[in-house]
Amino acid sequence: MKGAVISGYYGFNNLGDEAVLYFILENLKREIPGVKITVLSNSPENTSKTYGVNSVKRDNFKDVIAAIKEADVLISGGGSLIQDATSFLSLLYYLSVIYIAKKLGKKVFIFAQGYGPVKRNISKKLAKYILNKVDYITLRDEDSKRDLLNLGLSPSKITVTADPVIGIEPEAIDEDAGKNILLKKGVDFKKPLIGISIRSHDDNEKIIEEVSRFVEIFQGGADFLLIPYHFPADLDISKKVMQKTYNNNVYLIEENIDPISAFSILKNLNLIVGMRLHSLIMACALFIPTIGISYDPKVDRFMKMAGNTFFMDAKEISGEKIYEMAIIRLKEGITKEERESILNLKKRAGETVKKLIEILI
């Protein structure tokens, strides 16, 4: 029986990373029935319960090494794991897991990751040394490939595909389950429903002020749903927007939800205004119009790849500008260029799975 260990930012209540894990698991189970999977997680009990797979504590290296010994391949990703913007220790952790797998003679597959930013010289040297040992690398954008080539990696084992979450198909999502969640929160679906995903950044007060202004300009002409994508990290800033608007047409997801529920909720929306990258990717996967508020180059990269011009820098966020974009998006929906770009990204996400199966089999 084939076996895989999956390493990533799992078990931290981050919807984007959990959606990545969901995609990997669903495809592995479909393509290799009976495959034995172990996920390295910050919360192994929750991961096992949610996805029905074996899971071990990600920082218990005795258990991590034991799991890798039993596997055929280590899958690293997706997301942006090889970066030192969060911390040097974060980068060191993910590279260490890869290094352990290679020392144990296992195959390593980088699953549709975004590389960087990597700023420290020691980080770059470690990344070059260890990533040169992996069997295959798939990336979610061309800029990441360029950075790895500049680092000195061979182009022969690098392919640009797409973020795996874009590969989720709308018909696989149960819309009614999400609708029931929203009905219990008081949403009556008599007006357009706009999702909002925001996070703390450089100027939280400005973000709160301008997002609240966007809501108020509608003057009750739409309902709004605040969705914390990283729980509970995004909950506080979402609550502050809700408190500032003083409207009874603003709703909040106050509990931690799994990616299956999140997709189901999103399928009931008419538009997403998002800072979190995966709020935008998940919406695009379901062909829901999006407006991006970019706090990181990865957001710009994705919006451009998706053929979407409706985004702005978080430093220049404006309630009026979001409103103007929202009126257009609600009226016109997904453009032809966006649909074609999204379909292409979906095809490329499927290529990641094919490459992985080739490595594993």
Q: Single out the residue of 130, 74, 137, 84 nearest to residue 111, CA to CA.
A: 137
Cα Rg for the chain, rounded, in angstroms? 20
**Region label for 36, one of left (φ > 0), alpha (ψ between -120 and 50) or beta (otherwise):** beta
Give backbone dihedrals phi and psi of 19, rounded to 5 degrees, phi first.
Answer: -70, -35
- pLDDT computed for residue 246 by the predictor: 75
Token pair for 42: 């910050």
CB atoms within 10 A of CB 270: 18
- pLDDT computed for residue 361 by the predictor: 80
Token pair for 189: 């679906």
- pLDDT computed for residue 1 by the predictor: 67
Token pair for 196: 């909002």
Q: Single out the residue of 6, 3, 53, 8 nearest to residue 278, CA to CA.
A: 8
Ranges in the chain, pLDDT < 70: 1
- Domains defined along the chain, listed by start: 3-160 (3.40.50.11930), 170-344 (3.40.50.2000)
pTM: 0.93
- pLDDT computed for residue 86 by the predictor: 86
